[in-house]
C-alpha cells in the first residue's frame, strides 16, 4: 500500500472503486450515486482492506462541492424559478418546516439538544440536486410542468440551505454561550450582525466588482483562442472565488462558488464555461460521494436499527406526504403531486455539508451524522423504486392521461409520416433546419440542451428535448415513420450509437451523420450510415474551390 503517497492512493482508489460500484449500480438499475457511496464504504475505515485517507478525501470532496455549486449557479435561471414561485416557495418552506419538526422530534426522543435536533431536521429536509435531476432526466420530465415545479422547489430548498449554512456558525455561538436556557441574546445579535455584514460585503463585492471583472476577464481569455487558457480561467473563477470568499468574507465555499456560477451564467460564454467544467465536476462529485461513504459506519445499522428506520421514514414517507399534501392543497392534480413528492423523497449533498458543519461546530453528535448518512444511502437507493411505485399508483388518472397521450401521439404520427428527424440544433443543425423550412418538409428536431431547444421552438420547429442516444427519445420523435434522420452532432461515435438505434427501429430510414476524423467516418459507415459528411474535408474543399477561382485584386 502506498503509504508514502496518500493523496495519489486516495484519488486512484476513489476513482477505481467508484467506477466498479457505479458500473454495478448501472447494471442493477439503481442510481449510480448509491454505487459511489458504497465505494466510499468499501475504501473507508470501517470495512477491512485498503483504507483511503479521510482528511484528504474530505478536502477533495470540498472541490466537488465547489464545482457542483458552481454548476447550480450557472444554470440558476431566475425566470424558471419565478414561473413556479407560487407553489415552489411556500411548498419548499412548509416542507422544510415539517421535515425539520419531524427530525427535531426524533432528536429530542433520542435525548439530543434542541440545536442538534434543528441541524438534524434541516439536513433531512433538503433533497439532492444530483439525485433529483438524474431521476427527472431518466424519465424525460425536466421540461414538463411537474418537472419545473420540482426543480424550482429544489432551488428554493438550496437557497434556504445556503442561508442555514451562513447562519449556523452564528447560531452555534448562541448555543455555546448558553449555560442553561436563556442564551445571551446580545451575543447572538452581534454574531448575526457580523454574519450579515460579511455576507453583505461579499454580495456587494460580487455584484459590483466581480460582476464586471469576471466576465471581462473570461471574454479576454476566450479571445486569446487558447482552449487551455479558457478552461483554466473558468476553473480559477469557480475555485478562486469559492476559496477567496471563504478566506476574505468568511462565507461558505458553496455560496462563493454558487455566486461565481450565477455571475457567469448571465454571460454569453456560460454554456462553454459549463462544458469546460463538466468533466472535472463529474469526477470530483464522484469523489464527494465516495468521501461521504467513507465516513459511514455500517455498524450504526446494527446498533441503532430503530433510529435508522425512523430517519429513513422521515425522509421517504414524512417528506413525501408533506410535499404531496402541499401540492394538492395548492390545487394541482394528483400526478404533479406524486411526481414532486417522489422526486424530493431523498437527501444528498447539502445534508452532508450541513451535518459536517454541525459536527465541526460541536452541535451535532456523531450519531446524528451516521443517521443522516444512513438516511441518505437508503433514500437514494430507494428513490428509483419509489418513482416506479408512485407511477404505478397513479391508477385512473394515469390511464386517462395515457389514453389522451396515445390519441395525441396517433394524431401526431398521422401528421408526421415521412418526416425528417434532425438531431442537434447547434451551429450545423440550425442551418439545416432553416434550409429544410424553405422546402416545406415536416421536421422534428431532437436537442438535449434546453436553451437550444427553446431557441428551436421559438423558431417554430417541433422539438423533442432529450438525448437522441436514448431510444425512447427517438421513438418520441417518430423514428418509425421517418424517412430521413440527420445526425448533426459533432461527436461521431455518439452519432454512431444514435444511428444504430435508429436502424433497429426503422431499417428503411436514410441516415446522414457528421464526422471529424477518418476513424469516425469508417465507424459510421460500418454501422450502415448512408451519408457521412466529414466537416474538415468539406472545409478543405470549399477553400480549394475559392482558391482556384479567386484572383488577386488588380
Ligand atoms: P454544433 O456542433 O454547434 O452543431 O452543436 C451540436 C448540437 O447538438 C448541440 O446543440 C448539442 O446540444 C446537440 N447534441 C449533441 N449531442 C446530442 C444528442 N446525443 N442528442 C441530442 N442533441 C445532441
**For the domain that residue 495 is a member of, what is the CATH number?**
3.40.50.720
C-alpha 425 – ligand 1 centre gap (Å)? 6
Residue 487, classed as helix, strand or coil, is strand
CA–CA dist 500, 483 (Å, integer): 16
Ligand 1: distance of its center to the CA of 532 in Å? 17
Give buried/exposed letters for 104-114 (b at 16+ CB in 10 A, else e).
bebbeebebee
pLDDT for res 393: 58
Q: Does residue 408 fall inside a structural domain?
A: no
In a domain, 348, yes or no: yes
Assess whether 111 and 202 both reside in one domain: yes
Cell numbers for 313: 421514514
3-class SS of residue 420: strand
Q: Where does 198-248 show beta strands of DSSP type E?
A: none
Long-range contact set of residues 133-140: C-beta below 8 Å, sequence gap at least 24: 134/31, 134/32, 134/33, 135/31, 135/342, 135/343, 135/383, 135/384, 135/387, 136/343, 138/384, 139/387, 140/465, 140/466, 140/472, 140/473, 140/476
Atom 9 (ligand 1) nearest CA? 426
Atom of ligand 1 nearest to the CA of 449: 12
The residue whose grid cell reads 470495512 is 47
pLDDT on residue 179: 45
pLDDT value for 182: 44
d(CA 264, CA 73): 8
CA dist., res. 507 & res. 211, Å (int)? 53
- 202, with CB counted inside 10 A (0-12, 13-18, 19+), is buried
Q: Ligand 1 centroid to 489 CA: how many Å?
A: 5
Residues 496 and 382 in one domain: no
* C-alpha 467 – ligand 1 centre gap (Å): 9
Same-domain pairing of 457 and 497: yes
* H/E run at residue 50: none
The count of C-alpha atoms lying within 13 angstroms of the C-alpha of 442, restricted to the half-sphere facing its C-beta, is 14
**Residue 406 maps to a domain:** no
Residue labelled with grid coordinates 426524533: 106
Probe target for ligand 1 pocket from 426, 431, 457, with the most ligand atoms within 8 Å of CB: 426
Protein residue closest via CA to atom 8 of ligand 1: 424
Residues 513 and 486: their CA atoms lie apart, in Å, by: 6
- Are 423 and 389 contained in the same domain? no
- Element housing 445 (H / E): strand 443-447
Based on the fold, state whether residues 354 and 437 are members of the same structural domain.
no
Owner of C-alpha cell 422534428: 444
Phi, psi of 72 (to 5 degrees): -60, -45
Contact between 375 and 131 under an 8 Å Cβ cutoff? The reply is no
Which ligand 1 atom sits nearest the alpha carbon of residue 469? 19
Instruction: Answer yes or no: is 328 within a domain.
Output: yes
pLDDT in tens, the chain (554 residues): 555 788 888 899 999 999 999 999 888 877 788 899 889 989 988 888 778 888 888 888 888 878 877 877 776 666 666 778 888 899 999 999 999 999 999 999 999 999 999 999 999 999 887 678 767 766 767 667 777 788 888 878 877 887 787 778 777 766 665 444 444 566 667 767 777 788 888 888 888 888 889 889 988 888 888 888 988 999 999 999 999 988 888 777 777 888 888 888 877 777 778 777 878 888 888 888 888 788 888 888 888 899 999 999 999 999 999 999 999 998 888 888 888 888 889 997 788 888 988 998 889 998 898 899 899 888 887 887 777 777 665 554 555 556 666 776 666 666 666 789 999 999 999 999 988 876 666 899 999 888 888 888 888 888 888 889 888 889 888 898 899 999 999 988 889 999 999 999 999 999 999 999 898 999 999 988 999 999 999 999 999 999 988 887 76
Nearest CA among 449, 409, 443, 408 for reference residue 427: 449
Residues 128 and 269 occupy one common structural domain: yes
Residue 256 Cα distances to 45, 74, 206, 242, angstroms: 31, 12, 9, 4
From CA 241, how far away is CA 206, in angstroms rounded?
9
- Which atom from ligand 1 is nearest to the alpha carbon of 468? 20
Atom number of ligand 1 nearest to Cα 428? 4
Cβ-contact 360, 368 below 8 angstroms = no
Q: How far is the CA of 342 from the centre of ligand 1 (A)?
A: 30
Asked if residues 376 and 292 have their Cβ atoms less than 8 Å apart, the reply is: yes
Integer Cα distance of 132 and 293 in angstroms? 19
Distances, alpha carbon 414 to alpha carbons 29, 417, 445, 503, in Å:
35, 6, 17, 21
Report phi then psi at 420, rounded to 5. -110, 135
Predicted TM-score of the model (pTM): 0.62
Residue 107 lies in a domain: yes
In a domain, 404, yes or no: no
DSSP state of 481: G
For residue 83, give the 3-state DSSP assignment. helix
User: CA of 461: how far to CAs of 414, 431, 451, 457, 465, in Å?
Assistant: 17, 13, 14, 5, 12
The set of residues, in sequence order, having a beta carbon less than 8 Å from that of 362 and lying 6+ positions away, is 172, 176
Closest atom of ligand 1 relative to the 467 alpha carbon: 20
Pairwise CA distance, residues 122 & 168, whole Å? 11
Do 386 and 519 sit in the same domain of this protein?
A: no
Distance 60 CA to ligand 1 centre (A): 31
Three-class DSSP category at 362: coil
CA 168 – CA 254 distance, rounded (Å) = 14
CA of 269 to the centre of ligand 1 (A): 17
Domain shared by 430 and 383, yes or no: no
Residue nearest to atom 16 of ligand 1 (CA): 489
> What distance in angstroms lies between residue 107's CA and the mean position of ligand 1's atoms?
49
What is the position in ligand 1's atom list of the atom closest to the CA of 452?
10
Are 129 and 43 members of one domain? Answer: yes
How close is the Cα of 212 to the center of ligand 1, in Å? 31
Q: Are 110 and 119 in contact (CB under 8 A)?
A: no
Ligand 1 centre distance from Cα of residue 490 (Å): 7
Residues 358 and 426 placed together within one structural domain of the fold: no
Residue 51 lies in a domain: yes
CA of 446 to the centre of ligand 1 (A): 9
Partnered with residue 463 across adjacent β-strands are 445
Give the angle 160-161-163 at the CA atoms, nearest 5°: 65
User: For ligand 1, atom 14, which residue shows the shortest CA distance?
Assistant: 424
Query: Residue 438: helix, strand or coil by DSSP?
Result: helix
Expressed in angstroms and rounded, the spacing between residue 79 Cα and the centre of ligand 1 is: 24
Structural domain harbouring 193: 6-393
Residue of 166, 91, 151, 173 whose CA lies nearest to 125: 91
CB 531 within 8 A of CB 512: yes
Q: Residue 346's domain is classified under what CATH number? A: 1.20.1530.20
By most ligand atoms within 8 Å of CB, the mutation choice from 448, 454, 498 for ligand 1 is 448
Do 316 and 437 share a structural domain? Answer: no
Query: Do 90 and 326 contact (CB within 8 A), yes or no?
Result: yes
| Grid coordinates of 211 | 460582476
Give the ligand 1 atom nearest the CA of 424: 8
Residue nearest to atom 23 of ligand 1 (CA): 424
CA-CA distance, 455 to 439, in Å (whole number)?
20
**Which residues form ligand 1's pocket by a CB distance below 6 Å?**
423-429, 446-449, 452, 467-469, 488-490, 494
Residue 230 Cα to ligand 1 middle (Å): 21
Give CA–CA dist 412/481, Å, rounded: 11
Question: What are 533's strand-pairing partners?
Answer: 514
58 contacts: CB under 8 Å, gap ≥ 6: 291, 356
Identify which of 270, 275, 433, 489 to mutate to test ligand 1's pocket (most ligand atoms within 8 A of the CB): 489
> Does residue 234 belong to any structural domain of this protein?
yes
pLDDT of residue 180: 42
Determine the pLDDT at residue 177.
52
| Total structural domains within the chain | 2
User: Within 13 A of 286's CA, how many CA atoms are on the CB side?
Assistant: 23
Let me know whether 364 and 443 are in one domain.
no
Q: Cα(526)–Cα(99) distance, rounded to whole angstroms?
A: 55
- How many whole angstroms separate alpha carbon 222 and alpha carbon 451? 21
Amino acid at each position: 500500500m502506498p503509504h508514502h503517497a496518500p493523496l495519489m492512493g486516495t484519488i486512484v482508489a476513489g476513482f477505481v472503486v467508484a467506477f466498479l460500484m457505479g458500473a454495478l449500480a448501472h447494471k442493477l438499475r439503481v442510481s449510480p450515486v448509491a454505487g459511489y457511496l458504497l465505494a466510499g464504504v468499501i475504501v473507508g475505515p470501517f470495512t477491512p482492506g485498503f483504507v483511503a485517507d479521510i482528511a484528504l478525501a474530505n478536502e477533495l470532496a470540498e472541490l466537488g462541492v465547489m464545482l457542483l455549486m458552481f454548476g447550480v449557479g450557472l444554470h440558476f435561471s431566475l425566470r424558471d424559478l419565478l414561473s413556479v414561485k407560487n407553489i415552489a416557495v411556500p411548498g419548499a418552506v412548509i416542507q422544510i418546516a415539517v421535515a425539520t419538526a419531524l427530525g427535531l422530534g426524533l432528536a429530542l426522543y433520542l435525548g439530543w439538544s434542541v440545536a442538534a435536533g434543528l441541524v438534524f431536521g434541516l439536513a433531512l429536509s433538503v433533497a439532492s440536486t444530483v439525485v433529483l435531476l438524474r431521476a427527472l432526466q431518466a424519465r424525460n420530465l425536466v421540461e414538463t410542468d411537474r418537472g419545473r415545479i420540482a426543480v424550482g422547489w429544489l432551488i428554493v430548498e438550496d437557497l434556504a440551505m445556503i442561508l442555514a449554512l451562513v447562519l449556523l456558525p452564528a447560531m452555534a455561538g448562541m448555543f455555546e454561550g448558553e449555560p442553561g436556557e436563556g442564551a445571551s441574546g446580545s451575543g447572538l445579535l452581534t454574531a448575526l450582525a457580523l454574519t450579515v455584514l460579511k455576507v453583505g460585503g461579499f454580495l456587494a463585492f460580487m455584484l459590483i466588482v466581480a460582476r464586471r471583472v469576471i466576465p471581462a476577464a473570461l471574454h479576454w481569455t476566450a479571445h486569446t483562442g487558447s482552449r487551455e487558457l479558457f478552461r483554466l480561467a473558468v476553473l480559477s473563477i469557480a475555485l478562486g472565488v469559492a476559496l477567496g470568499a471563504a478566506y476574505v468574507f468568511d462565507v461558505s465555499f458553496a455560496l462563493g462558488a454558487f455566486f461565481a456560477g450565477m455571475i457567469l451564467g448571465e454571460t454569453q460564454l456560460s454554456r462553454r464555461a459549463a462544458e469546460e467544467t463538466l468533466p472535472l465536476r463529474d469526477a470530483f462529485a464522484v469523489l464527494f460521494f465516495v468521501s461521504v461513504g467513507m465516513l459511514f459506519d455500517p455498524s450504526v445499522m446494527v446498533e441503532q436499527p430503530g433510529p435508522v428506520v425512523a430517519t429513513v421514514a422521515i425522509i421517504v414517507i414524512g417528506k413525501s406526504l408533506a410535499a404531496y399534501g402541499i401540492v394538492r392543497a395548492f390545487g394541482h392534480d394528483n400526478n404533479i403531486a406524486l411526481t414532486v413528492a417522489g422526486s424530493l423523497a431523498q437527501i444528498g449533498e447539502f445534508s452532508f455539508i450541513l451535518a459536517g458543519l454541525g459536527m465541526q461546530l460541536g452541535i451535532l453528535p456523531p450519531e446524528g451524522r451516521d443517521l443522516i448518512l444512513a438516511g441518505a444511502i437508503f433514500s437514494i437507493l430507494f428513490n428509483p423504486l419509489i418513482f416506479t411505485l408512485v407511477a404505478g399508483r397513479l391508477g385512473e388518472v394515469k390511464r386517462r392521461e395515457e389514453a389522451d397521450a396515445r390519441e395525441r401521439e396517433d394524431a401526431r404520427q398521422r401528421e408526421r409520416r415521412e418526416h425528417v428527424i434532425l438531431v442537434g440544433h447547434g451551429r450545423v443543425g440550425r442551418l439545416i433546419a432553416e434550409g429544410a423550412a424553405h422546402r416545406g418538409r415536416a421536421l422534428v428536431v431532437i436537442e438535449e440542451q434546453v436553451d437550444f431547444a427553446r431557441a428551436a421552438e421559438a423558431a417554430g420547429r417541433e422539438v423533442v428535448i432529450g438525448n437522441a442516444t436514448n431510444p425512447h427519445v427517438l421513438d418520441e420523435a417518430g423514428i418509425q415513420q421517418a424517412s430521413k434522420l440527420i445526425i448533426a452532432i459533432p461527436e461521431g461515435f455518439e452519432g454512431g450509437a444514435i444511428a444504430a438505434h435508429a436502424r433497429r427501429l426503422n431499417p428503411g430510414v436514410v441516415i446522414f451523420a457528421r464526422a471529424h476524423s477518418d476513424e469516425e467516418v469508417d465507424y459510421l459507415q460500418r454501422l450502415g450510415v448512408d451519408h457521412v459528411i466529414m466537416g474538415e474535408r468539406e472545409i478543405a474543399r470549399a477553400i480549394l474551390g475559392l482558391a482556384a477561382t479567386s484572383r488577386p485584386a488588380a
